[in-house]
Structure 1
Amino acid sequence: MAARARSGSLAPGAVVGDGRYRLLAQFGFDERADAHLWRARDGQLRRDVALTLLVGDPADAEAARLARRTLERAAHAAKFSHSGVARVLDVLNLGNGISSSEGLLGIVVADWTKGTDLVDLVADKPIEPGAAARMVRALADAVEQAHHTGLVLGLDHPQRLRLTPDGSLRLAFPGPLPEATLRDDVKAIGAVLYLLLTGRWALPGGPPAVPTAPHAPDGRLVPPRSLQPRVPVELSSLAVRTISDGDQGGIRTTAAIVRMLDDFTDAEERTQLIRQVGGEEAEEDDGIWTTKKPVKDAKRRRKLALGVTVLVVGAVGILAWLGMLMISFFQDNPSATGPTVNVAAPSSTTQPPASDGNSNPPPAQPSTGQPVKPETVGVYNPEGNGDGPARAKYVLDGKPETAWRTDEYKKQFPALKPGVGLIATFDKPVKISQVKVKGENPGTKVEIRVADEKNPKLTETRVAGGADLSGPSTDITLQQPAEGRYIIVWITQLSADGDKFSSQIADLEFIAAP
């Protein structure tokens, strides 16, 4: 009871860890280990972190032992690196970063994960099955790699997970329970998939705000498809067989889960392609297959009839014109009407190509549009505050001696994050055909992306082109003109200098489509 009383002092603005971390907001509570999940501010490094606070009475020997086991497991996880797991920065215990007056048995400090709470994600309605499979895929891969090294991640509580800006689930609050096993991690993946598909949690110890998954009278877990008929049989079976033991069980390894998720997403992509090729009616139907009769739409029939009529009239006109050409070519009577065609000379309306001394004329040069200048340029980094935001303005000043630079990294993208870039904002949507990137960046790879919103997720942007930067200036010509109000120059690979990686951009120029 004393430990519970001291946990009441955990409120926004309080400091823990010998005054280093100031609590900002609580994001969950895992009552199985009396673990409080907080977002906090590191006063020394001036950055946000995720704290797993193990509350308890230091005089309780059993509670102290269990907390030490959790901290040991978290310390081992600090050596594990994967995008699906927040990096453990520090592990604090009594006498080492925690004073006895704080009412804490331990603290696990991890990188703060930007994004959305998993519980908030499903609060309104379940997730579309294809999106759910893609979200779980990165999490399953993280568990698979961790298990190869003997690590238990401990992701069997929904409030420990967050959805990142790129659409993947991530263990944001590491700190596995003392008795957690590899099997518990596998069952957690099935429970997370079940939660996304139904909005219900299928394992013990979930948060009170999330409804519990129902069970049949015989004790079996009710399949997601019985609660949400739109859930495909494959995903419904995968969730149940991963969670359950005994007759309903059968999937006990993450390798099998990853393989089944990949098979499902591949099949879904093929289905989506078929629906796109099928046209407008296929897009309006949410089912994978349909037997309904075509919609009797009078407006659509009128449009179709008009289109066919235009095609017929055009075809008749072309045939008539070709007939007149043939008559004028073969007819000897000088009084015959029709256009005169001289097959030995070019038409008077066509200019002959300039000769370059070779047998073949030079290719026609494409016309170019005019440069368009954005209102502003800022740093685009969906996973953080961005690199050098104060220098982003230099890419519009036209001065080669000023430049925007990325941070200096010790690992190449995407080891630490998928990339970083600049986002140009225009006063209205523009159609871009080319982007000129100036700056010495050997080895740098960039993509040109288009967005319709000011602060888009990476998955909400469209790739319009890309290139490897070479020389002092690189012209990136888009295959098709891209239209949007926000144009992103996204760096996916940095220039290497020994064991350091960084890139810079001196100037950007956007060319409108002609």
Structure 2
Amino acid sequence: MPASIRPGDVLADRYRLVDLLSESGNGRFWRAHDRVLERHVALHVIAADDDRAEGLLAAARRSARILDPHILRVLDAERSGHLCYVVNEWGSGTSLDIMLAAGGELSPRRAAWVVGEVAAACARAHAADVPHGRLNPENVLIDTSGAVRVIGWCVDAALHGRPTGRAADDVADLAGLLYAALTGRWAGPSSSAVPPAPTDHGRVLRPRQVRAGIPRDLDALCDEVLNPQPGCGTMAAEAFRAVLAEFVGDPTGLQESMTSRLVSGGHETVVLPQVPEFTVRDAEELTRPTPPAGPPGPAEPADREGAGGDPEGAGAGEGAGDAPGESTGESTGEVTQAEMPGFLVAGDEAAPAPPPPFEEPPARPLFAPDPPEGAPVRRSRQPDPGRDSQQYWPWDTEAGSRTGGAGGGAGGGAGGGWVDTGWPTGTGPVVEEEVPGRSSFRVAAILLAALVVLVAVTVAFNLGRGRTPLGTVPEEESPSATASAPAEVGPLDVASVSDLDPQGSDGGEYPELTGLVVDGDPATAWRTSTYKQDFGPGGLKDGVGLVLDLGEARSVAEVALRLVGSPTDLELYVVDEAPTGVPSEQGLSPAATVSAASEETVVLDEPASGRYLVVWITSLPTVPDGFRSEVAEVVPRG
């Protein structure tokens, strides 16, 4: 691979290289820009004399035959000069490996939907005998709309020097994708940067052994494909997709929800429009009048000298009769103070003088003047009977009126800053000013008093009725206090017990032992047959169970179980009519689903009412010769 190829190079006079995304040996994977159609494309490039060149072009031709919305299609392939390249459609989003590394595992429904979308693309491509060849998390993209896109169909395997892929390998990679989405570990045959799945004696551990809470259906599907039994056929991609579609059900909203798992931080090349250069003119150029068109006159140098800020020139211009601040230049091209605020305008006129500063206010005394020696500090003066009783000076002094006597005077004198009103002593009209806010204060005080009285009356009324001050019923007498107390649960009577084996050839599963689950003896137990395979999608049955008749409709709050062996996966149903087939196929919803230990008390989220309690076993514990479950006691409580 030539080392000279770098970002910015243009291939075939059309594709400009932007970002180098990955390298494989001497092959490189680029993001490029198609200058003809103005869009981003993905570019796989190797040297023209590379051993993989023919295989890469052949893979591009095979991939171009598949038209599927999940596949990023091939747009161009060519050997030009010393390079061989394949152009693919570009997808913007987050690959599955980055999504798992950044945000952890997917939920079971999301994982099944994502891999089901890839399986749908595989089913269509396998029908045309065009497998992917390297279906790993790096090649599964969740785009910005939440849709699933597959990268490098056939091309990525050829770029890594792998031979033409097989459909069976793609199906194994599909199981690896499901395993990775559920556990964050990679178990497929293709290589990947995702951490490998743990193994035990050459077998990949089941997903439920790596992460708790994975549904049994998905666990069994991964185990069946990744750990095939000898002599068993290979599952097709369409069958794999059908199992996932059945688990997902209605996929509405799943695509939109995947956008919340996208990892931000993608690098996009942003081209800004060209901006004309700005030039900065100095103060001299800004303030200089624009000369008239034509050759310069002889007075131009003198004008330039005056505009340069010579103080003598500015003074002369003003003395010639121009008012300060008035513009004398041409209106075109001259910058005035209104156009350029904050700058001093240098020209023929001087800047206007700033206004004079505010005069200092006269000093005001902070306190009343001291009385003459020996007089009281504050002695109220008796009002003059000949005047209004409200017109009097609050302090009596021997020096005369503070507004015109020797203590004050017009200039303030020793009293400091008092105003001379010109009235003789004792005759000046002194009007008492209204205190601001006094009326508002009175109104507020009246309202507050009224509110206090109202609250007091309300409290007294409530206490008189035997209530609390706020009017509520006392806690010890509240009817809700007794109603909210949880009722104690006790064992419910069981009228009869029968077995439920709708998928069995004989329709029964040890019916003669069913009564042992309610005999109160833990040493006796009802048991299932011994199976070579566990229940589930890969087993012979979906499950077997017991039906307990409570005699009449009763409320069941919890069920105590005593089992032999563990774990036992089971579902509890409380129904009005005894089922005759698989409960889930008859439209029944379980009241509880648990993976029970040897002794388990299952508390229902909400008490369920019905006549029949169905214990439906969906997974059997392992025994030396296969799989079998034994139930010693079932005690419903309500």
Per the normalisation by structure 1, the TM-score is 0.44
- Structure with greater proportional strand content: 1
Per the normalisation by structure 2, the TM-score is 0.36
Return the index of the structure with the highest Cα Rg.
2
Higher RCO by CA contacts (8 Å cutoff, separation 6 or greater) = 1
